[in-house]
Amino acid sequence: MAIRRVADISARENFRIEPVPGLRAMTPRRDPVEPVPVGTYVAVVFRVTGYDPDCDGSLMARLAGVDANGEATGWEESAVGLYPESTWVVDGPGELDG
């Protein structure tokens, strides 16, 4: 299994500032570029921030997305089940830099 980071597509996106038609305003624009092909498997790292009981008494995780340095990205999820068939545990986000 090869683990690698998603490629930096910023140069291919052709970022630019364009006028808004009919207004005296400018807006940012980018060309749509798929960072990886459709069908690619990706892994996004989350930190477990706590647990809440589900209706049957089992615990559901509260998660916070983190970047490669372990800093919060602002993406939060709640009521997530953690199961051996679909969840991997790493010591930190840097562990994925195989």
How would DSSP label each residue in 59-81? Answer: EEEEEEEE-TTS-EEEEEEEEE-
Closest by Cα among 52, 78, 82 to 65: 78
Question: Higher model confidence: residue 90 or residue 60?
Answer: 60
- The residues that bridge with 72 in the sheet, in sequence order, are 66
Domain boundaries, the chain: 37-96
pLDDT digits over 3-50, tens only? 888 999 999 999 999 999 999 999 999 999 999 999 999 989 999 999
pTM for this predicted structure: 0.76
Sequence-distant (≥ 6) Cβ neighbours of residue 96 within 8 angstroms: 3, 43, 45, 68, 90
Mean pLDDT across the chain, nearest whole number?
93
* Backbone CA torsion sign across 86, 90, 92, 94: negative
Q: Above pLDDT 90, what percent of the chain?
A: 81
